[in-house]
Structure formats: structure tokens, C-alpha cells
Amino acid sequence: MNVPRIIVNNTKTIIELSYLLKIATTKVQKNKESAKKEYSQKEESSL
């Protein structure tokens, strides 16, 4: 009966990791977008 438990634990871990990865990629996207906005604002102000 140990085998199913290991599979369940691995599945939980995979789900948690993919969730954390999704959060991380979302943060990166937002950072990229805000960085682009800041950059374009600097470009406009320097003109």
C-alpha cells in the first residue's frame, strides 16, 4: 500500500510546483510590462 501513497505525494508536489511556477511567471510578466512602461515614459520625457 506504500506505492499509491508515493504517487499521491508526487502528484501533490507536482501540482504545487506548477502553481508556484505559474505565480512566478505571472510576476515576471508584470515586471516586464511595468519595466516597459517606465522605459517608454523615460524615452518620452527625454525627447
pLDDT tens string 11-38 = 999 999 999 999 999 999 999 999 999 9
Sorted by sequence, the CB contacts under 8 Å of residue 10 that are 6+ apart come out as none
**DSSP state at residue 1:** -
Amino acid at 27: K
pTM listed for this prediction: 0.59
CA atoms within 13 A on the CB side of 19: 6
Q: Computed over its alpha carbons, how large is the radius of gyration of the chain?
A: 20
- The CA distance from 23 to 44, in Å, is 32
